[in-house]
Structure 1
Amino acid sequence: MRGTTLTTDRRARKHKNITKRERTRQTMKQKRVACGEEAEEGKMRWLEKAQKRARRPANASIQPPSSNAGDAEQTPPVRRSSRLKATTRT
């Protein structure tokens, strides 16, 4: 197959017997590994970034983390942890 990128067209993917879920898992894995030189280290850095991103809203004003910690711990952590669990499985 010529000119294939990471996301191949559906027919090619079918012939290679790679499901869509498997393909996305591979991409996530590659993204995590790409963050750092060593795979584990990169994975941890990627997770930390993702957690920070999920914790702070886009328009948050800079404030001490102590005051921010209380209101951040209601409902989002449950959803965030499940999403992270799904991505860390290799």
Structure 2
Amino acid sequence: MSAASRGLELLERLRSEGLTPWGDPSVYGVLRRLEQDGLVAARLEPSAGGAARKYYSITPKGRADLDAADAEWSRLARVVDRLLEMRNERDQR
């Protein structure tokens, strides 16, 4: 979330990437927990079409946690890649 996004926009992005099991309660529950943990900030903005809309943006703490998780995921992916390469080499013998 580089710019502020509405929960519905995030849900639509997840679904467009094929993550169809994610429903409204899942996404909004995660956003609520991220906000409680100080990883995202939320703000309400009036809407011409009815109720105010809530927009979420990542906080500096959230960015740091995301960067750390990204680094950890990259390390894990490298290990898995090496294990798969070893298996493939073994299978080719």
TM-score, normalized by the shorter chain, greater than 0.5: no
Q: Which has the higher contact order (CA 8 A, sep 6+)?
A: 2
TM-score, normalised relative to structure 2: 0.26
Rg larger in 1 or in 2? 2
Question: As a proportion of its length, which structure holds more strand?
Answer: 2
TM-score, normalised relative to structure 1: 0.27
